[in-house]
Amino acid sequence: MNHKIIKKVQTCVENQNDWRGKKTINLIASENVCSKLATSLSYSDFAHRYAEGVVFHREYQGQHYQDQIEAITIAAVKRLFNSKYADVRCPTATIGNIAIYYGLCKRGDQIFTLSVPNGAHISMRKFGGAGLRGLKIFDIPFDYDNYNIDMDLFGNLILGIKPKLITLGASVFLFPHPIEEIRKICDETNTIIHYDASHILGLIAGGKFQDPLGEGADVVIGSTHKTFPGPQGAIIITNNEDYFEKIQQGIFPGTVSNHHLHRLPPLTVVCEEMQEFGEDYANQIIVNAQFFAKELDKRGFKVLGKKLGYTQSHQILLDLSQYGKGLNNALLLEKADIITNKNLIHGDLVNKDTFNPSGMRLGVQEMTHVGMKQEEFKLIAEFFERLIIKEESIDSVKKDVNFLRSKFIDVKYSFDEELGGKNE
């Protein structure tokens, strides 16, 4: 046995748990942490098993408990999101989007998505899943004054092109999309509305942001590890039986073989936690995001969406072009144990500087999940000012960052406290 390699692996895991779990302020908009109860169920014999096919119709034998847990998880998802149909097999939302494109479209079909600088995920574009399916992609027009879809232009484009499908939702997603307006137009063109709720699924579960199925979306996909604080993976929900059957074919045998069953027990737990605590959790996320954005603005940062209240989600989008752009500042913040990411904003593709774009995307969901509120986000805004504007010593700020985080380790809005630590 190579003891040096084993020791390096163990040390790497320990360092990761200590640094990212106890010392850093994480503002990555696509990450979160599970409760102790959910985490305790994350690894089991399910991690070693295959479950090709759908519940009770498998390719292999030995599926008794695997069928049970998947059926329980599906029921929990349907109950939480008030949907008739749900699929929990996609290990990522990117794979889920590809499955939807394969199930509901054919090569050469015309679709609309946002462009990447306006918020689209790469899976929606030519160089991602939509391109792999051979779809012809048109850009949804964007209104930069309202930081949302430009319906004056989009309505006429839908009527003129009559697309097979429209993908709503985004990776940069500050304000709800006008689903009801788009639904009325799509009824005339027989166009499918696919809504990617990857980032805001937890807000939807908590009854905040918007209700895509209720407002007219045909199929909704969401990541289970962003504002929804579960294990990494994705769910697909719909009320349309025909679409659901086609999407299931897109999942298996289309894009997913085995689907990582060990995700399902913790996913079910988080569904139940969101039933119990989701409204309070989602509300605090939005309160924190709006407050944090205002504090950053007060300190001289350019926060996009200001006239609209900055954001109605967990996300904040900064234009840091006057302070050295996105990547440079993300690297600076990381040295002080504040974790962020650069992001394209309007104008970056024109300037062809995609490696160091002008923007930075921030998300408050993980720090909210461990109990931070407005008082803490005021301090975090001060950290940004001290590092980026005042150019204070990194070590000085890092010390304060580590101290603040040390007071917020355990997950809130969960069953952990009710169980009195029995799940540890």
Q: Is the pLDDT of residue 32 over 60?
A: yes
Domain boundaries, the chain: 39-270
Beta strands 110-113 and 136-139 are: parallel
**269-298 per-position pLDDT tens digit:** 999 999 999 999 999 999 999 999 999 999
Least confident of 3-7, 278-282, 410-414: 3-7
CB contact at 8 A, 237 and 99: no
Task: State how far the Cα of 344 lies from the Cα of 350, in Å rounded to an integer.
Answer: 11
Task: Name the more confident of 67 and 350.
Answer: 67
Which structure tokens are listed for 27?
Answer: 């503002």
Question: What is the CATH class of 39-270?
Answer: alpha beta
Token match 């307006």: residue? 181
Mean pLDDT of the chain: 94
Stated pTM of the model: 0.95
Element (H, E) at 188: helix 179-189
CB contact at 8 A, 53 and 59: yes
**374-400 per-position pLDDT tens digit:** 999 999 999 999 999 999 999 999 999
CB contact at 8 A, 402 and 220: no
pLDDT of residue 422: 43
In terms of Cα–Cα distance, which of 251, 213, 200 is closest to 78?
A: 213
CB contact at 8 A, 36 and 423: yes
In terms of Cα–Cα distance, which of 231, 99, 218, 242 is closest to 168?
A: 218
pLDDT band at 418 (very low <50, low <70, confident <90, very high): confident
DSSP at 116: G
Alpha carbon separation from 325 to 43, 78, 189, 343, 362 (Å, rounded): 40, 42, 42, 10, 14
In terms of Cα–Cα distance, which of 277, 315, 271, 269 is closest to 423?
A: 269
Element (H, E) at 85: strand 85-87
pLDDT of residue 347: 73
Task: State how far the Cα of 134 lies from the Cα of 131, in Å rounded to an integer.
Answer: 5
pLDDT of residue 350: 53
Q: Is the pLDDT of residue 423 over 60?
A: no
Length of the chain (residues): 424
Token match 């024109």: residue? 350
Alpha carbon separation from 32 to 26, 75, 230, 394 (Å, rounded): 9, 23, 8, 25
Q: Is the pLDDT of residue 59 over 90?
A: no
**347-363 per-position pLDDT tens digit:** 776 555 677 888 999 99
